[in-house]
Each structure stands twice: as structure tokens, then as C-alpha cells.
Homo-oligomer: A and B are copies of this chain.
Amino acid sequence: MRWLRIRNPAGEAMRRLSSKKVIYHFSPKNRPAYTVKSGERVIVETRDCFSGKAKGPKDLFEDIAMGAVNPATGPIALEGLVAGETLSVSIDGIKCGKTGVIMCSPDLGILGRDVRRARTKIVPIKGSRALFSDEIAIELNPHVGVIGVSPREGKVPVYYPGDFGGNMDTVEVCEGSRVHLPTFVDGGMVSLGDVHAAMGDGEVCGTAIEVAAEVQARFSKAEDLELRRPMVETSTEWISYAAAETLDKAAKLATSDLVRFMSNRLGMDFEDAYMLASVAADLKISQVVDPLMAARMSISKKYL
């Protein structure tokens, strides 16, 4: 494994949270595998979404993915966090494995009907690129695909997104960003996994460049942020996020969340915030291939 674009404070001893402890469902009944203090810097080891079972081009989606996909390391309890408070996860670095996997398969992804045969592509990762073929090297944009807390109720498979986060598949969940999550149980119980070395918005074929990884992270309580759904904060942007049965519904929720956030921050009425969003904020697609579709909306911090 190689550290990619990581700021690793010299000499600081970091606790490692092993990927031996994973969940396959988000549930309020989950018990903590790890407990961290606010601001403690840890390394979260994550398996790739196929748990390392795809080793070569003969390991096809239908053979592997029928079992357990998207294992997420955790749950990680934040000491002192009370249900209902907002949990912030700072992503300080992502170190991707040396090999990535991309798969396509009949009925997988937005054009799944057009896929005639399953294919698994093993992609070597060299520096900041993944070698898709002899001719094509993909620029990496490493990010954490799954990051979620225990939901209010139910037993939600880890490949679902939702108001609790989960399979967010959002490229800004990357080094230098913070993910703010509403919580529903004490400690929050966040789990991380499904790191992508690279993905385009949409993740249209159903997989990204899937890698095992090590994620350097800190956890804390956000004091001034009340959320119903996740928000992502980069160095330059605020981003709302919503998942729903259709992209149209997800887009509406993400817009509503961001407009209300802007209205609060700017002390503007709804109408002005709505108009400002229309001319200055971008409504985007996170993914269109999970059981729920996900949209997000971003506004530059320079306007807030």
C-alpha cells in the first residue's frame, strides 16, 4: 500500500482500527467495535467492497457479490456524543491499495440491460494514476464510498445510502473534507468502508476503482450544526446530500436542505436564498446505481 496525498503528522502515534471488525448492516442495535475520543487521530483500515475476493479477471461479479459486499469497518463510538447531536468526521488522508478492481455485469448499473457479459478488470495503481489499459491512465480522486452512523430504526444493508449516510458514493468525501452526520444513538456508531481510488459522478456501471485502503480520520461533535441528513464540508464548499427512490426526489431534498442552510447562515429569507442557490449553487449527482439514488448540492464558501 502507498500513502496517497496524505498529511501524516511526524512522530504521532496513531491507533489503528482493524478491518477485521466490520458491519454489513447499519442498525441502532449495533454495538461499538471501537471507541474514540474527540479529536483523536486514528487510522481506519478498510477492505475493498468485495472483501478482497476479486483477485483476477475470472472472479466475476455474480460469483462474488451475491455474498457480503461493502463491509464497513466499525462501528466506532465517539465518547460523550449523545443521540441527536451532530457527528463530524474529518478525513485527513486516504492511502489506497496497490491494486484496484472494476466490474461490470448484466443488470448492474444504469445501463445494466445492455451488458452482454460480466467482466472484472484488475487495475494496477501507480502513483496518482490507475492503469485502466496500456493506453489509458485514470487520474485518481480517492474518496470514502461508505460512511454512516446507526440509523433511527431498522437493519439497513451497508450498500444502501440514507439520512444516516451509508453508501454515499460522493467524491468530496476525500482528504481534507469533513462529513457531518446526524446521529440517532449515543456515540453515533460510525462505520467506514468501500474506498474508491477513482469514480466519476454517477458511478454508472455500479462499481468504481474499488480498493482496500487506510483512512486517517478524526471524530468530533459539531456544535452549531443541526442536520436531518449528511452534509459534506470541503475547504471551499458546503454540500448537502440526499438519497431517495428517484433522482428527482433526491434532487429536491438536497436543494431544500442547502437552501435552508444558506438561509440560516446568511440571515436571508427563503426566497432570496432560493434565488441565490439558483444562480450560484450546483445541483449534482452522486450515484444512480445503488438501491436509492443520491444527489447533492454545493455552494462555495465565499458566498456564506
Residues of chain B contacted by A204 (CB below 8 angstroms): 255, 259, 274, 277-278, 281, 283, 297
Determine if A243 is an interface residue (Cβ-Cβ < 8 Å): no
The CA of A102 and the CA of B272, in the complex, are separated in Å by 10
* Partner-contacting stretch, out of A7-15, A84-92, A174-182, A206-214: A206-214
Residues of chain B contacted by A272 (CB below 8 angstroms): 119, 121, 133
Copies per complex of this chain: 2
Determine if A284 is an interface residue (Cβ-Cβ < 8 Å): yes
Residues of chain B contacted by A130 (CB below 8 angstroms): 279
CB-CB contacts of A258-288 with B at 8 A, as 1s and 0s?
A: 0100000000001110111111111111001
Determine if A132 is an interface residue (Cβ-Cβ < 8 Å): yes
The answer to whether A201 and B283 have CB atoms under 8 Å apart is yes
Residues of chain B contacted by A35 (CB below 8 angstroms): none
Given A136-B276, A270-B115, is A283 in contact with B251 using a C-beta cutoff of 8 Å?
no
Closest chain B residue to A250 by CB distance? Answer: B247
Determine if A203 is an interface residue (Cβ-Cβ < 8 Å): yes
Determine if A246 is an interface residue (Cβ-Cβ < 8 Å): yes
8 Å CB interface, A117-152 against B: 117, 119, 121, 130, 132-133, 136, 138-139
Residues of chain B contacted by A139 (CB below 8 angstroms): 280
Closest chain B residue to A105 by CB distance? Answer: B271
CB-CB contacts of A287-304 with B at 8 A, as 1s and 0s?
A: 010000101010000010
The answer to whether B279 and A202 have CB atoms under 8 Å apart is no
Determine if A33 is an interface residue (Cβ-Cβ < 8 Å): no
The answer to whether B115 and A282 have CB atoms under 8 Å apart is no
**Which residue in B119, B208, B251, B274 is a CB contact (below 8 Å) of A285?**
B251
The answer to whether B279 and A209 have CB atoms under 8 Å apart is yes
Residues of chain B contacted by A104 (CB below 8 angstroms): 271, 274-275, 278
Residues of chain B contacted by A121 (CB below 8 angstroms): 272, 275
Residues of chain B contacted by A195 (CB below 8 angstroms): none
The CA of A114 and the CA of B275, in the complex, are separated in Å by 13
- A161 vs chain B, min Cβ distance (A): 15
- A5 vs chain B, min Cβ distance (A): 18
**Which residue in B111, B274, B288 is a CB contact (below 8 Å) of A205?**
B274
CB-CB contacts of A229-263 with B at 8 A, as 1s and 0s?
A: 00000000000000000111001100110010000
**Which residue in B110, B119, B281 is a CB contact (below 8 Å) of A255?**
B110
Determine if A109 is an interface residue (Cβ-Cβ < 8 Å): yes
Q: A119-B272, A208-B278, A246-B247 are known contacts; what are 12 more A-B pairs with Cβ within 8 Å? A: A109-B274, A111-B255, A121-B272, A132-B279, A200-B279, A200-B282, A201-B282, A204-B281, A205-B275, A207-B275, A246-B248, A284-B284
